[in-house]
Amino acid sequence: MASKIIFFFLFILFPSQFHLCGAQTLVKAGYWYASGEFPIQDINSALFTHLSYAFADVNASNYQLLIPSASQQYFSTFPTIVKRRNPSVKPLLSIWNGISATGKSIAGENVNDSVLSSMVSASSKRKAFIDSSIKTARRYGFQGIDLFWVWPNSTDLSNIGVLLDEWRAAINSEQIQPGESQLILTLAIRYLPTIEMVSYPIDSIRRNVDWAHVVAYDYHLPTRENFTGLHAALYNPSSNVNTDFGIREWLNKGMPPSKLVLGLPYHGYAWKLVSSQDNAIGAPASGPAVNIDGSMGYKAIKSYIRDYGYGATSVYNATYVVNLLATPTIWINFDDVETIKAKMSYVKEKKLIGFKAFQLSNDDNWVLSRAAQGGENQSNRQQLLLKIILPVSLIVILAVAILYYLRRRKVQSEVEMVLTSIPSPRINAPAAENFGSDASHLQVFKFANIKGATNNFSSANKLGEGGFGPVYKGKLPRGQEIAVKRLSRTSTQGHEEFQNEVTLTARLQHINLVRLLGYCTEKEEKLLIYEFMPNKSLDLYLFDPVRRYVLDWEKRVSIIEGVTQGLLYLQEYSNITVIHRDLKASNILLDYDMNPKISDFGMARLFKKDVNEANTGRIVGTYGYVPPEYVRKGIYSMKYDVYSFGVLLLQIISGKRNTCYYGPQENLNLLEYAYELWSDDRGTEFIDTSLDDSSSTCKIMRCMQIALLCVQENPENRPTMLEVFSMLKNASMAATTPRRPAFSVKADKNTGSTSASQQEICSFNDPQISQLEPR
């Protein structure tokens, strides 16, 4: 029996090894731009399978290849030098439409008069070009040809299909000399398969090129836009200008993934910010920074960060898959190691065949190129040893395991009769499933169903990530869209919050609360399934310089009233009283009609109606929304959420973040800045200039006064949510004069001292979802 088991494992093991050896090699390509600044001999060719010499031009007179005289010395030696370090690397000759035309193309201009446009338009010109490209590649030892044409016009696209047919026919009919192999043919393509409503000739590309590399960068440039933008975002929840959208379009048009290579930019762009207080994606900008067009190589960006010193730190944004750097005056976006690794995971997920970097001289000690390897940095010798040692080791381990199994089975058989006479103990359900009657109406989902609904928790379905873990969009078999929270193993909230959210949310039913549909606890997973909110969260609109215009004053009043109704239900009208403890803009979700729904009850607490306050030893919440009594002593009451609502209300009327500093000296937090302007009768300077309340019964200055009442330091001075609701609905209802808010720098005129909270809490930072923990 043991020999049969061993034979079975060997049968499985060795075919898998042979399959591994015969699997398609990952394309690891890069462009080397001809210049003396980065010598050819400095290229670490061991990291690549293909290296492109960039670039050869096309002669405008005879349409044959033209090597610029300044590049002749590099051109003739490139193939030989790169092969010294890696004999298996394949040097490619890359052709473009000239520096001027390419520069205009990258800047977004349609270049209709380029040499390439003229070349593809006539059979005789195409033949001259094709013959010259093959002849030149062979003469200098290149093993392939690459066409880098990033923005052909709509007329060019159909001609490109003919060019590729003729090019492939010429390569196939070439008389190959001994020691040579057939030339590789590759093509650079734009991230979208259509230009001016005309599609690339996908059938021709599929037939004729070995692979096409998607130029997945330079989407937004500081030379052509007055707002900061992501030039190489993998995803973009609010726009189709992103790599994932483009790749999916190519695949939907019939381009096989086995023909696609992802372009990786080793450069970024720097914008000059209009305001130091607004450095978000889409912030107003006045043009390029650092240099004439804002472009910066990765090496230069890292050097800039080091030279800038304290305050300049790049941040990885997993939602867009980019790295961002912001100083008071400059905003830079680029791809760092985390981004490159994430994009290579995407390559594997989509079954693309590799990457092509632009350009190699911008790398910094090859950290980006190594990050793109996908764990394939071993030398040929190490790989060979691994292929020998791994199977042998596995065989030994399997043999030992099988012998142990057989011996253990023999021992068990001897006591089996005794064990069968003993009644089996009753097995309890996991703790996470013990929700009792509170969750009786919730659906218990199968993990397999949720896995299928979210496309195996695909990064393309990812909506965002919080302290609980990532959130994915899903679609159930009957078409219902859902949002799925998946507890991260590194979650800062954890299992207690999971059970808390299920038991609390299940008992709360209100139009302004996000509805929990069910949960799943199979396979040690902890998943929460909610109704899907298509317009995402409020913060995406309030702080975006473009999307904020979607929220006119009428819509903002509706949101204010909806949040107020939700809190009023939690505190006054539900069967239980609940303190949310994490009310903030990112936890206000918007449905199809932009109606607000309060979400995320993981930190919420039940509260007895006859008790004024309670205490906790664990301080949780989000910076900027937490009241001073909670920070200092862990005391929470219904006035906790009133304070958070006041902060949120100030943000709704101003469109300002609560993590920046304001005022002439930029030393006032949002609350104190609002108070200073309001007390000086200059409150209109605080509000969002796009808002107009002239036709509304709810006035902005009234909301500002109510908000300032909510953020007073002493919780006893804050109104209840019922009083807030009454003041908002009844403009004639008297409202007291607000006192200086919590966390103020300036002294109160009445007391002559700064707030007690400011004496203890001096600084804040800006995690979107974070916890305050005692230190």
Rg value, the chain, Cα: 32
**Alpha-carbon dihedral sign for residues 369, 373, 375, 381:** negative
Query: Which helix (DSSP H) or strand (DSSP E) does residue 325 occupy?
Result: strand 322-326
- Annotated catalytic residue within 210, 218, 582, 641: 582
State which amino acid sits at residue 547.
R
* Gap between the Cα atoms of 681 and 396, Å rounded: 82
The token duo for 280 is 């978000």
* Listed residue (242, 302, 240) closest to 268, CA to CA: 302
SS3 415: helix
* Gap between the Cα atoms of 649 and 704, Å rounded: 8
* Gap between the Cα atoms of 190 and 632, Å rounded: 55
Distances (CA, A) of 11 to 5, 384, 394, 395: 10, 21, 13, 11
| Helices vs. strands in the chain: H and E counts, helices first | 23, 29
Task: Name the pairing type of β-strands 260-265 and 354-358.
Answer: parallel
Count CB neighbours of 294 within 10 A.
22
SS3 553: helix
The token duo for 656 is 């300002």
CA dihedral 192, 193, 194, 200 (to 10 degrees): 150
* Gap between the Cα atoms of 52 and 227, Å rounded: 34
Whether the ω angle into residue 412 lies within 30 degrees of 0, i.e. cis, is: no
* Angle at the Cα of 741 from the Cα atoms of 739 and 744, rounded to 5 degrees: 120
Tell me if residue 582 is catalytic. yes
* Gap between the Cα atoms of 747 and 310, Å rounded: 30
* Listed residue (374, 606, 370) closest to 504, CA to CA: 606
* Gap between the Cα atoms of 98 and 58, Å rounded: 8
- In this structure, what are the phi and psi dihedrals at residue 331, rounded to the nearest 5 degrees? -125, 125
The token duo for 387 is 């292929």
What DSSP string describes 335-372? --HHHHHHHHHHHHHTT--EEEEE-GGGSSTTHHHHHT
Q: What is the DSSP letter of 717?
A: G
Residues 6+ apart with CB under 8 A from 333: 228, 229, 230, 231, 232, 268, 269, 322, 323, 324, 325
Task: Name the pairing type of β-strands 295-297 and 285-288.
Answer: unpaired
Q: What is the DSSP letter of 225?
A: -
* Listed residue (581, 578, 582, 540) closest to 559, CA to CA: 540
Residues 6+ apart with CB under 8 A from 217: 231, 232, 263, 264, 265, 267, 358
Count CB neighbours of 344 within 10 A.
22
Catalytic (active-site) positions: 582
